Amino acid sequence: MILNMGPHHPSTHGVLRLILEIDGENIVRIMPDIGYLHTGIEKTCEAKFYQQVVPLTDRIDYLCPLTNNLCYVLAVEKLLGLEIPPKAQWMRVMLNELTRINSHLVWLGTHALDIGAMTVFLYCFREREDILRLFEMVSGQRMMTSYFRIGGLALEPPLGFFEKVRHFARRFPAKVDEYENLLTGNPIWGMRTRGVARITAEDAVALGASGPTLRGSGVDFDLRRDLPYSGYENFRFKVPVGQDGDVFARYMCRVGEMRESIAMVEQAVEGMPEGPIKAVAPKVVLPDREMMKTQMEALIYHFKIITEGFAVPAGEVYQAVESPRGEMGYYVVSDGTAKPYRVHMRSACLANLQLLPSMCEGRLLADVVAAIGSIDIVLGEIDR
């Protein structure tokens, strides 16, 4: 029987359509059909100035908007050859790790909810509220912050911000213990996730998987540690790696990552350097508002950057970061003008989605939901 798990479905986490060929409860073939959220972001980027693309990037992978910002901004800074001050780099790392925790909380809540553990969902979103308040405090926006700009950060962090982050970082590890209490030793969770949707390391690498999906199968590769960017080489952290390649291994990887991320946030707050938050590049980075209101040159630079953009030397760059889902990359091609010639987003989820047939074919229908949850799919990133 051909069954359509249509784009409107509570468990597909977005508008993912799966065409399932089933024989009783067993899956014979599974074929994802995507494109329901395609909004032509890559095409739109070609019509905007470099700084105008930053708000577009937030909305691609909407569960980790700051990570998208970071990747694009690092790519353009590489094209320009800008030096970013250390405080901006440490703030970027700190907010990036908070975003990782944010995204993993959504993953854990919705994944558990699909499998049937409804309490975990509410617990996770309670912590997520605290993190969203932190984002609102620093940038004015809960989700689509656009806080990282080309050359540094958009605004100075307000007074009292680091105290709040420290307070959250002290409370959070106990919450992860709560989630693990509910799930890790739970026999029902074990029966739904151990041995389910297994994938070997060779298949995962050949199919282009990355992030916890790859690490759950035993491949020890993390872009933050192995190809570091934005000051990650200054941080000490472990990379959790699973061995079995099943849903449970990926779950343990992500829970471990939440613990490591909060430790990194504490390290960032303790060691936050003093200094400017923007690079010194008057033609690229907007001047301070006070200077813009009092000095003529600053006003002219501000006007020119906003209305005409800044020309970026011709060339191309591929910058990849470790998003909560895997390797997110931005390939930016410049032809020397103020608008990017081509911006391509390498989506971690698009590659991870290719694993779904090997994970699910021959297994039960109920395992498809667990498999989709364990890949941690976000359709915004797949469809762009």
Partner 1 sequence: MALEPAITDLEQLKSHPAIAKLLAWNPVAVQGAKFDRNEISIYVERSLVREACALLRDDADCPYNYLADVTCVDWFPSEPRFEVVYHLLSIPRKERVRLKVRLEGSSPALDSVTQVWSAANYFEREVFDLFGVRFAGHPYLRRLLMPEDWEGHPLRKDYPVEGYR
Residues that bind partner 1 (CB under 8 A): 34-35, 38, 40, 42-44, 46-47, 78-83, 203, 205-208, 219, 221, 226-227, 281, 313, 315-318, 320, 327, 329, 331, 333, 341-342, 344, 346, 350-351, 353-354, 383-384
C-beta of 346: minimal distance to partner 1 in Å? Answer: 4
C-beta of 34: minimal distance to partner 1 in Å? Answer: 7
**Residue number with CB closer to partner 1 (117 or 353):** 353
Alpha-carbon distance of 310 to 321, in angstroms, equals 25
231 close to 89: Cβ distance less than 8 angstroms: yes
* Paired tokens of 16: 């993912």
Alpha-carbon distance of 166 to 156, in angstroms, equals 18
**Residue number with CB closer to partner 1 (66 or 82):** 82
Tell me whether residue 362 is exposed, middle or buried, using C-beta atoms within 10 angstroms of its C-beta: 0 to 12, 13 to 18, 19 or more.
exposed
C-beta of 25: minimal distance to partner 1 in Å? Answer: 26
Q: Which amino acid is at 362?
A: G
**Residue number with CB closer to partner 1 (60 or 269):** 60
Contacts of 250 (CB under 8 A, 6+ apart): 212, 213, 215, 216, 242, 374
**Residue number with CB closer to partner 1 (127 or 327):** 327
214 close to 204: Cβ distance less than 8 angstroms: yes
Number of DSSP helices (H) and strands (E) in the chain, helices first: 17, 8
Torsion of CA 201, 180, 128, 217, to 10 degrees: 0
C-beta of 50: minimal distance to partner 1 in Å? Answer: 14
**Residue number with CB closer to partner 1 (161 or 341):** 341
**Residue number with CB closer to partner 1 (137 or 317):** 317
C-beta of 182: minimal distance to partner 1 in Å? Answer: 34
C-beta of 295: minimal distance to partner 1 in Å? Answer: 22
The strand pairing partners of 329, in sequence order, are 320, 346
Alpha-carbon distance of 265 to 166, in angstroms, equals 8
350 close to 382: Cβ distance less than 8 angstroms: yes
C-beta of 220: minimal distance to partner 1 in Å? Answer: 9
The total of other beta-carbon atoms located within 10 Å of residue 368's CB is 23
Alpha-carbon distance of 28 to 304, in angstroms, equals 59
C-beta of 313: minimal distance to partner 1 in Å? Answer: 6
Alpha-carbon distance of 226 to 215, in angstroms, equals 13
C-beta of 333: minimal distance to partner 1 in Å? Answer: 6
**Residue number with CB closer to partner 1 (156 or 203):** 203
Q: Is the dihedral of CA 63, 67, 73, 78 positive or negative?
A: negative
C-beta of 109: minimal distance to partner 1 in Å? Answer: 28
Contacts of 299 (CB under 8 A, 6+ apart): 292, 293
Q: Which amino acid is at 113?
A: L
* Paired tokens of 103: 């995204």
**Residue number with CB closer to partner 1 (165 or 378):** 378
Tell me whether residue 7 is exposed, middle or buried, using C-beta atoms within 10 angstroms of its C-beta: 0 to 12, 13 to 18, 19 or more.
middle
The strand pairing partners of 333, in sequence order, are 316, 342
**Residue number with CB closer to partner 1 (176 or 214):** 214
**Residue number with CB closer to partner 1 (97 or 327):** 327
